[in-house]
Structure 1
């Protein structure tokens, strides 16, 4: 979970270029809807990040279909926009989960309900396929009236510690358990928003599984730190150093940094328990 920079692009120019590249009759339909679409863009920017309850633009059914078609059947300008959004180094890792490669564009407001935002750059969020599939077309939590997912382009992710992981050794196996905690001073609605995002994207289990996989790759380094003298303290120091490096780049709630800090305080893991993450031969 992290914020990402907006793409420096003029949304009006994007709309005009894509509309001009479409064939008739969709070109004419998009141009006829231009005023309503651009007004919707302004409404989105004015409301952001609380865009979950925006009114739908008054488009005709053919205009709605043309707007969706502008995204799903790509023209050269749409292909260029996709590339500009996805190929930035800053969004190489999915901002929804912080785990996988950003390989798709998620419509934060779904294009089926809000076709006016089908090609609006601020509504197109780089994401991994897993998060895009899990998010689907959901927006608001009816029980809390809170948006179900963070908007990486618009929401400011708190820099106070809210992600935690508990680690323990059990029968020579490492057990990981990720959870969210509400820090002092955090507004309830902010925490509900974070918790909904965390739960709906199944991040506790995804972090657990990827954490174990990640540690397998660190096994040789942990062995070197432990050394012939079986120096558990050096293993803990190595983990703290790694946590600090990750925190400097990705912030205090990065799931790998949290894992390293928890393991650094786990005496059993540091004192040879890391053998539990030794990669198994294929």
Structure 2
């Protein structure tokens, strides 16, 4: 789990919006042009909320909701500037990072989530910081349910929330005696020193997206593949498969973050006392 890289503000986010707006049909374009001051005001409000870490306090704007369909048409219509914006967001990310959805780390990010839900904040329909590459499952699960009943954010903002370089995803193993296999179970553990507010947000993000359940569902097959890779490494003349596996774990951490579930899995397996036996029967 690693933060996404935000697009630089050059061209400005407002300029990117204008480029999309100006490619809409005549009537829609005219209505959007008439509402330009509203959009400019709201983009400033978004930037201020990000700067002050107060996104949860940013309320829906009644004048924007009155023209919701017109504003959302900026995203719903596949104009060339919108395609360029989506591609620019993808191109800004380090290589390989978007092999996995940044919200869950399990599948390909084939859609974009509106972090501030478009149904409540249509003015941010094409705001670069409001478009998060993600998988369809995370997108549909989050939907417009971004705040709790208490008014707190329930999901990490992939561009702006600092993901600490501390281990909070952990894995335990159990040997399946009859099948000569190894099972994996994941859990969250709060690191020492992590602030309450950030830990609550991380915990909520994992709970709402059911990430531990997803990791558990995928874990056993991933363990089997990792062991098979270690076996192939040995059979092809490789020497220390623990070093081999540690290197692969480090590569995963460097690309996807310390708490990417496969990085955690590889690192924990490389350190496990029974790895030698597991590899032999793989």
TM-score (norm 1): 0.86
Q: Distance in 1 between matches of 2:112 and 2:209?
A: 16
Q: What's the offset of the Cα at 1:61? A: 5.2
Greater displacement, 44-53 / 27-36? 44-53
Aligned match of 2:43: 41
Q: Distance in 1 between matches of 2:66 and 2:81?
A: 21
CA 218–166 in structure 1, closer or farther in 2 if over 3 Å, else same: closer
Q: What's the offset of the Cα at 1:269? A: 4.2
* Residues 28, 70 of structure 2: 8 Å contact kept: yes
- Correspondent of 1:114 among 112, 121, 131: 121
Aligned match of 2:4: 4
Secondary structure in 2 matching 1:140: coil
- The answer to whether structure 1 residue 101 and structure 2 residue 108 are counterparts is yes
Structural mapping, 1:185-264, within 5 Å: 185-224=193-232, 234-264=240-270
Q: How many corresponding residue pairs?
A: 272
* Residues 247, 257 of structure 1: 8 Å contact kept: yes
Where has structure 1 moved over 6 Å in runs of 4 or more? none
Q: What's the offset of the Cα at 1:260? A: 1.4
CA 215–71 in structure 1, closer or farther in 2 if over 3 Å, else same: same
Q: Distance in 2 between matches of 1:261 and 1:11?
A: 40
Q: Distance in 1 between matches of 2:261 and 2:73?
A: 38
CA 151–29 in structure 1, closer or farther in 2 if over 3 Å, else same: same
Q: Distance in 2 between matches of 1:129 and 1:86?
A: 16
Q: Residue deviations 1:54-92, cap 9 Å, x none?
A: 122242655221011111122221222222223555352
Secondary structure in 1 matching 2:183: strand
Q: Residue deviations 1:174-220, cap 9 Å, x none?
A: 22111111111111111111011111111112222333333443344
Q: Distance in 1 between matches of 2:182 and 2:137?
A: 25
Unpaired segments ≥5 residues, structure 1: none
Aligned match of 2:75: 71
Q: Distance in 1 between matches of 2:194 and 2:280?
A: 35
Unpaired segments ≥5 residues, structure 2: none
Q: Distance in 2 between matches of 1:176 and 1:32?
A: 57
Secondary structure in 2 matching 1:52: helix
CA 170–98 in structure 1, closer or farther in 2 if over 3 Å, else same: same
